[in-house]
């Protein structure tokens, strides 16, 4: 039955380095759904019926896409398996344009974080964390997983990231000095835990902790808080870093290529395409591209 076939498929792909947590859950649900109907092979109509149970059209498309890839794998050995058509459209949901914080706003966020809440390590924790995110472009999840051994003379060692790759992120000497100051205060606070950033509970920070602290700060600044509009999130600090790096990109084609590849590696992107997304997502960068294209065309025409 399909349940055993799904298990074999997932085992093979996980051996190749894919985690497939959500994909595995969905495929097992689909296999159970098909088995309950007595079907030994992937059936397109059944797959569409099962995928339609998801609430949003993008969730339906992702579910059906997972089944289609599984079916394509199975069909290589048995033509009885059907590959369902993409009746729900593209699996990729359009990315929301990022909220780009200015340098002044980032400075205010760090300063307000240093004054928020009780007079405790919490102030230093969040002001240091937000400053670190803004000057390194780390994901929040990467920053809160940092441990003492990851702070090295060469920079921060980011282990087993979003795409199961590790990298070293260099630190400017001012960032290194700020992190060292924080660690001097933090080490005695929870001596039996080696996470760099900890909560008042003496435990590693959670994503919800960081989001709550960030919301409190941006609320004091009067920045958008939702309601259908773009709003700043802790991830906006990473976006701001990426945009600053792109604005500093040199002009020559060879230097641009090197700069983009370096930035993609620095940010931990699995593909440079994710880095190029910022070019179309940020109006200022689009204006720069348009201006340079116009100058190139006019120069070529003359």
Positions marked catalytic: 139, 162, 235, 238, 269, 278
Strand partners, 168: 157
Neighbours of 219 (CB within 10 A): 11
Strands 155-158 and 167-169: antiparallel
CA distances from 296 to 54, 121, 281, 283 (A): 49, 53, 22, 20
* Burial environment of residue 248 by CB neighbours within 10 A (0 to 12, 13 to 18, 19 or more): exposed
3-state SS, residue 151? strand
| Nearest to 263, CA basis, from 280, 251, 276 | 276
Give every CB contact of residue 195 below 8 A, 6+ residues apart in sequence.
144, 145, 146, 147, 204, 205
Enclosing H/E stretch for 207: helix 207-221
* Burial environment of residue 183 by CB neighbours within 10 A (0 to 12, 13 to 18, 19 or more): middle
Q: What span, in angstroms and rounded, lies between the C-alpha atoms of 7 and 27?
A: 9
| Nearest to 84, CA basis, from 98, 94, 100, 70 | 70
Q: What span, in angstroms and rounded, lies between the C-alpha atoms of 87 and 67?
A: 13
Strand partners, 169: 156
């Amino acid at each position: 039955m399909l349940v055993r076939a799904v298990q074999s498929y997932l085992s093979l792909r996980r051996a190749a380095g894919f985690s497939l947590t959500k994909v595995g859950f969905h495929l097992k649900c689909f296999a159970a759904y098909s088995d309950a109907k007595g079907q030994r092979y992937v059936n397109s109509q059944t797959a569409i019926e099962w995928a339609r149970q998801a609430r949003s059209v993008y969730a339906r498309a992702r579910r059906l896409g997972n089944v289609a890839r599984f079916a394509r794998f199975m069909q290589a050995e048995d033509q009885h398996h059907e590959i369902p058509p993409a009746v729900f459209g593209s699996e990729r949901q359009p990315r929301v344009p990022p909220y780009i914080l200015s340098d002044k706003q980032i400075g205010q966020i760090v300063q307000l974080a240093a004054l928020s809440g009780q007079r405790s390590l919490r102030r230093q924790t969040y002001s240091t964390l937000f400053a670190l995110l803004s000057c390194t472009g780390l994901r929040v999840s990467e920053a809160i997983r940092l441990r003492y051994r990851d702070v090295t003379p060469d920079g921060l060692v980011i282990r087993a990231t979003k795409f199961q790759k590790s990298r070293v992120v260099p630190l400017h000497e001012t960032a290194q000095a700020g992190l060292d100051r924080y660690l001097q205060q933090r080490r005695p606070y929870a001596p039996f835990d080696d996470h760099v950033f900890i909560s008042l509970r003496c435990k590693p920070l959670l994503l919800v902790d960081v989001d709550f602290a960030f919301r409190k700060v941006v609320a004091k600044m009067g920045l958008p808080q939702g309601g259908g509009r773009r709003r700043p999130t802790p991830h906006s600090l990473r976006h701001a870093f990426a945009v600053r790096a792109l604005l500093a990109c040199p002009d020559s084609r060879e230097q641009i290529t090197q700069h983009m590849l370096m930035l993609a590696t620095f940010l931990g992107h699995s593909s440079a395409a994710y880095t190029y997304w910022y070019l179309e997502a940020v109006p200022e960068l689009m204006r720069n591209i348009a201006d340079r294209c116009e100058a190139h065309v006019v120069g070529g025409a003359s």
